[in-house]
Amino acid sequence: MLAAVRNNKSAAVLSRAMPFLFSATATATANTHPLFPSPHCQNPSPADRLPLPARRLPRFPAGTPRAPSLPLPPKRGMASLAVSAAAAAAAEVTHLTQREAAEIDEQLMGPLGFSVDQLMELAGLSVAEAVAEVYKLSEHARVLVICGPGNNGGDGLVAARHLHHFGYRPSVCYPKRTPKPLYSGLVTQLESLFIPFISAEDLLSDLSREFDIIVDAMFGFSFHGTPRPPFDDLIQRLVSLSVIENSDKKAAIVSVDIPSGWHVEEGVVDGGGIKPDMLVSLTAPKLCAKKFTGPHHFLGGRFVPPPIINKYGLQLPPYPGTSMCVRIGKAPSVDISSLRENYISPELLESQVKFDPFDQFLQWFDEAVSSGLREPNAMALTTVNKEGKPSSRMVLLKGVDKQGFVWYTNYGSRKAHDLSENPSAALLFYWNEMNRQVRVEGTVEKVPEEESDKYFHSRPRGSQLGAIVSKQSTVITGREVLQQAYKELEQKYSDGSLIPKPEYWGGYRLTPTLFEFWQGQQSRLHDRLQYSQREVDGSTAWHIERLSP
């Protein structure tokens, strides 16, 4: 991370704001790397969501054990890749010269109060998050982190630790260990996790045979001269990987801040350097990043304070959600036909599921809640009008019991019109992080008025006013129409008086006739268990069948 060391005995400071940091006093082997975030975290306030009604949707009282949840892959930022890429590409991102990067590191490590271990931790976490954002754990679990002797290597050590906790299987090649306590401590941390250290001599010539990802954390922007053994050979191995065109056989190369061996401002001088698939710039991209042609360019950090932003006129993208990294540059071109996920999940067996599909649903729903999924009660509702035209939209489940699934809406909406003409509908719950879907089909009817009224008045007052203002699915001339109507209603009920539920708003209940529980599995051999109603001895019972995936 920060790699400029002050000689003053009382001010021994690594001046490297992350992967690259250069100072006139840095040694030839020192690495530095700048890491920083956007000047301000723009996390929009979450949409107004009501807590789910007690018991209808399971809740967990304090001290009550929750249902066991399945292990989840590392969480991503709230914004998708496409969203974060679009946001970053919308504005020009500042690229730093070597001198500017060194000055920023010195200020961060001096008057702005950062320590090298803080910056190194942020840098390594940013690298690990960027890797997890792009390279699926199910397909790229084997990671080799090649660490140099300076701060860039320290970033790699930290990244290896975080990747291990994300579920990846990292190994570390650290040929020239730095004896300082900070680096020795990082090595001890990895050894305590039983992360293997591999010597350069023991690595196979073809790294792709053993690893899916190679993290290049050898040299930062303050490195000078020609790489010495064994780093010269290691760099050439990564150069050799770059010429393999078949991506299925090639390990992905991830470079930290700059590709090792590149000139910090001019890039690859002779055209024969490393060509990484991913570059994780830290603090801000260096000028050499303009020569980067790989598909994935991320910015890591998220801590640069306003004094640095203002002094250097930095243009930095907003970071999505709580993520420490953000995609910058144009989004990569994608072959849609090649997008696929090889699901890894526990088997869903007939002997393990509940006899009653409502009980099975509640068990899965409990596990989705316990796993911390965002809006596990979100469901796709599909309706069909009298002409047979289907339409789908996302709604929020607000109650479930043995009588059915309940949601609320405007009775003048398109879905309401469809249901008035054809009361048959379908629901779909999709819990991506758990590789699960639940489909429910059945007939729909309105819930009793008193039930709708009770729920309406349990909502925040803002949501109540919004339900009155919105004549759902009707055409309006602009957003200001809604805003003005809302403001007038807000003033009308500013005394805190009861807001009457509009007659055109209320709930629906779908009574199921069919359930399907889907669990994703490897090689597309998914588990699908269907519950359908059958007549048995004069009464209706649920019958379980396995469907071919």
pLDDT exceeds 90 at position 204: no
Cα radius of gyration (the chain): 28
Compute the half-sphere exposure of residue 150: CA atoms within 13 Å on the CB side of its CA: 33
Helices 181-192 and 116-134, packing angle to 10 deg: 40
Report the alpha-carbon angle 111-117-118, nearest 5: 65
pLDDT exceeds 50 at position 203: yes
Task: Name the residue with higher pLDDT: 270 or 303.
Answer: 303
Q: Which residues are annotated as a binding site for (6S)-NADPHX?
A: 151-155, 220-226, 257
Tally of residues, the chain: 549
Structure tokens at 438: 């639940």
Return d(Cα 82, Cα 74) in angstroms, integer.
Answer: 18
Task: Name the residue with higher pLDDT: 10 or 164.
Answer: 164
Which residue type does 124 have? G
Residue 97's pLDDT band, with cuts at 50, 70 and 90, is very high
Compute the half-sphere exposure of residue 115: CA atoms within 13 Å on the CB side of its CA: 4
Helix (H) / strand (E) containing 122: helix 116-134
Helix (H) / strand (E) containing 309: helix 306-312
Helices (H), 171-230: 181-192
Contacts of 478 (CB under 8 A, 6+ apart): none
pLDDT at 78: 40
Q: Which of 48-62, 314-328, 382-396 bottoms out in mean pLDDT, i.e. has the lowest?
A: 48-62
Three-state DSSP at 449 gives helix
DSSP state, residue 448: P
DSSP state, residue 320: P
Q: What percent of the chain has pLDDT over 70?
A: 81
From the list 66, 524, 534, 546, the catalytic residue is: 524
pLDDT at 121: 96
Burial 13-33 (b: 16+ CB within 10 A, else e): bbbbbbbbbbbeebeebbbbb
Question: pLDDT tens across 482-498, in order?
Answer: 999 999 999 999 999 99
Helices (H), 313-413: 357-370
Query: What is the arithmetic mean of pLDDT over 436-442?
Result: 98
Q: Which residues are annotated as a binding site?
A: 151-155, 216, 220-226, 257, 260
Return d(Cα 286, Cα 94) in angstroms, integer.
Answer: 8
Neighbours of 477 (CB within 10 A): 6
DSSP state, residue 523: G
pLDDT exceeds 50 at position 67: no
Pairing label, strands 252-256, 296-300: unpaired
All structural domains of the chain, each given as residue ranges with its CATH number in brackets, are 9-18+342-546 (2.30.110.10), 45-68+116-329 (3.40.50.10260)
DSSP secondary structure letters along 56-116: TS----TTPPPPP----PPPPPSS-HHHHHHHHHTSPPP-B-HHHHHHHHHHHHTTT---H
Q: Which residues are annotated as a binding site for K(+)?
A: 152, 216, 260
Quote the mean pLDDT of the chain.
84
Q: Please choose, from the candidates 534, 491, 531, the residue with its C-alpha nearest in 3D space to the C-alpha of residue 514.
A: 531
454 by Cβ neighbours in 10 Å (0-12 / 13-18 / 19+) ranks as: middle
Query: What is the arithmetic mean of pLDDT over 369-392?
Result: 96
pLDDT at 334: 74
Residue 247's pLDDT band, with cuts at 50, 70 and 90, is low
pLDDT exceeds 80 at position 384: yes
Q: Identify each DSSP E strand in 266-320 by its residue range.
A: 278-282, 296-300
Report the alpha-carbon angle 494-500-505, nearest 5: 125
pLDDT exceeds 50 at position 58: no
Q: Which of 78-82, 498-502, 537-541 bottoms out in mean pLDDT, i.e. has the lowest?
A: 78-82
524 is catalytic: yes
Q: Are 445 and 423 in contact (CB under 8 A)?
A: yes
What distance separates the 2 farthest-apart alpha carbons in the chain?
Answer: 91
pLDDT exceeds 80 at position 82: no
pLDDT at 80: 45
462 by Cβ neighbours in 10 Å (0-12 / 13-18 / 19+) ranks as: exposed
pLDDT at 28: 36
Q: Which of 24-38, 96-110, 175-189, 278-292 bottoms out in mean pLDDT, i.e. has the lowest?
A: 24-38
Three-state DSSP at 163 gives helix
Contacts of 383 (CB under 8 A, 6+ apart): 390, 391, 392, 414, 415, 418, 419, 422, 425
CA torsion, ordered 225, 228, 234, 238, to nearest 10 deg: 20
Return d(Cα 84, Cα 107) in angstroms, integer.
Answer: 29
Which residue type does 393 have? R
pLDDT exceeds 60 at position 522: yes
Question: pLDDT tens across 443-473, in order?
Answer: 999 999 999 999 999 999 999 999 999 999 9
Return d(Cα 390, Cα 209) in angstroms, integer.
Answer: 49
